[in-house]
Amino acid sequence: MTRVVMLIHEEGGSFGASFPDFPGATTVAGDLDTLYRKAAEMLAFHVSGMAEDGDDVPAIRTLDELRRDPAFREDSEGAMVGLVDVDLPGRAVRVNISLEEGLLKRIDRAAEAAGESRSGFLAQAAKARLHTAA
């Protein structure tokens, strides 16, 4: 889990969140508790999408590093600073698993039909199952 700096702006009773290390990743809410929840969900979705698209996830800067950035100092003027925890994608790791032969054939056919590799298909299936279990 990595902590990511979030800027919080308030306007007219609504709160907006943005992330200096993830330009374009923003969300809004009517209160801070909801904002933090939505921001964590949105950032996880954003980072997941970057990984799926093959985009590099930017290096996450500490608050001290950001404070030395003139653009951050300008953007953060009048803002509150918060931290949000997010799981960043790691490197791929080879695993050895056992599956029933018929199931493996069905997985391979489905992966091929979807234009995916077996590993990619299984990873997506696991992510979907983990999402519904959360």
What tens digit of pLDDT does each residue of 41-58 get? 999 888 888 887 878 888
pLDDT in the model for residue 54: 79
Q: Do the beta carbons of residue 81 and residue 3 sit within 8 Å?
A: no
CA distances from 132 to 19, 35, 110, 127, 128 (A): 26, 22, 21, 9, 6
When pLDDT is averaged across residues 46-72 and rounded to a whole number, the result is: 89
pLDDT for res 80: 96
> CA 90: distance to chain centroid?
12
Query: Is 14 strand, coil or helix?
Result: strand
- The tens digit of pLDDT for each residue in 9-43 reads 999 999 999 999 999 899 999 999 999 999 999 99
pLDDT digits (tens, 9 = 90+) for 96-123: 999 999 999 999 999 999 888 898 889 8
* pLDDT over threshold 90, residue 90: no
Sign of CA dihedral 31, 34, 36, 41: negative
Which residues does residue 83 pair with via DSSP β-bridges, in sequence order?
5
